């Protein structure tokens, strides 16, 4: 089924076509959301919202545009809005909660059975520092970097989703990496 046929089918309330569309794209949408949210349950919730929005607003969609680009754009926007509106993510974005080992890490201690608890704590902490650093990038750098790194989307696809030129994507990702490295160095020097 081409995009055009698919859109027409969804507009005609063809449930089977919509189901197929969800199943073909859910994997990538969940991963896009998780790239921003770093929480699988949240990513799945937002993924549901994304497909519901597609279904409800399919009539506004221009048939000559690319359906997947539109879908991924909705996924990015919904994820960013969720971060903006959600307290849990705000806490995560606060630097104090990352580097206070007694406060945060103890609660999330891994099972006793695990053979390498220290390694897991270290990894968890690393992951939080990385998330904090990525989240503190300028918005467009963050979007481009996340789509490229977490979702392995091509620069061309990212350019389509963000509606900017290919060279802008290159420049955004270059600056994102440079800034990210600087932010990470700061953490290492502090500790």
Partner 1 sequence: MKCKKVNKNLIFYIDGDLSLKQNKEIEEHLSHCKKCSMLYNEIKLSLSVIENEKGIETNPYLYTRIKQRLEDINERSTNPVFAIQQKKLFQPVLVSFLIALGIFIGVSIGNNYPLQENNIADTPSEQYYINDLQQEHVEYFLLNNE
82: CB partners within 8 A, 6+ apart: 36, 37, 42, 46, 89
Interface segment toward partner 1; rule CB under 8 A; list 14-22, 63-71, 89-97, 154-162: 14-22
Q: Which structure tokens are listed for 133?
A: 């650093």
Question: Which residue of 30, 76, 83, 159 would you call a contact of partner 1, by CB under 8 A?
Answer: 30
3 state SS of 138:
coil
Question: Cα(100)–Cα(134) distance, rounded to whole angstroms?
Answer: 19
Nearest Cα residue to 141 out of 171, 161, 164, 165: 171
For tokens 């197929």, name the residue: 20
Question: Which residue of 127, 136, 154, 165 would you call a contact of partner 1, by CB under 8 A?
Answer: 127
Question: Which residue of 34, 46, 98, 132 would you call a contact of partner 1, by CB under 8 A?
Answer: 34
Interface segment toward partner 1; rule CB under 8 A; list 59-67, 80-88, 97-105, 180-188: 180-188
Q: Which structure tokens are listed for 137?
A: 């990038």
Q: Which structure tokens are listed for 180?
A: 């990210």
Question: Cα(157)–Cα(166) distance, rounded to whole angstroms?
Answer: 9
Tell me the closest approach of the beta carbon of residue 15 to partner 1, in angstroms: 8
Question: Which residue of 11, 99, 104, 177 would you call a contact of partner 1, by CB under 8 A?
Answer: 177
Number of C-beta neighbours around residue 177 at 10 A: 15
Question: Cα(38)–Cα(18) distance, rounded to whole angstroms?
Answer: 27
Per-residue interface string for the shown chain with partner 1, residues 145-164, x marking contact by CB under 8 A: ----xx-x------------
Residues of this chain, 62-121, that bind partner 1 according to CB under 8 A: none
Question: Which residue of 7, 9, 47, 92 would you call a contact of partner 1, by CB under 8 A?
Answer: 47
Residues lying near partner 1 in the complex (CB under 8 A): 15, 19, 22-23, 26-27, 30-31, 34-35, 38, 40, 43-44, 47-48, 51-52, 55-56, 123, 126-127, 129-130, 149-150, 152, 177-178, 180-181, 184-185, 188
């Amino acid at each position: 089924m081409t995009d055009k046929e698919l859109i027409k089918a969804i507009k005609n309330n063809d449930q089977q076509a919509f189901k197929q569309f969800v199943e073909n794209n859910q994997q990538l949408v969940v991963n896009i959301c998780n790239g921003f949210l770093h929480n699988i349950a949240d990513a799945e919730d937002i993924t549901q919202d994304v497909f519901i929005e597609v279904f409800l607003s399919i009539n506004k969609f221009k048939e000559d545009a690319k359906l997947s680009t539109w879908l991924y754009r909705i996924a990015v926007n919904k994820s960013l809005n969720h971060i903006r509106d959600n307290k849990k993510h705000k806490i995560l974005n606060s630097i104090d909660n990352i580097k206070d080992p007694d406060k945060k890490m103890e609660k999330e201690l891994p099972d006793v059975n695990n053979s390498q608890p220290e390694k897991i704590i270290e990894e968890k902490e690393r992951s939080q520092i990385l998330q904090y650093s990525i989240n503190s990038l300028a918005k467009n750098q963050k979007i481009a970097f996340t789509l490229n790194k977490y979702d392995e989307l091509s620069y061309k696809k990212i350019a389509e989703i963000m509606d900017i030129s290919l060279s802008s994507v290159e420049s955004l990702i270059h600056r994102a990496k440079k800034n990210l490295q600087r932010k990470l160095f700061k953490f290492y020097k502090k500790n």
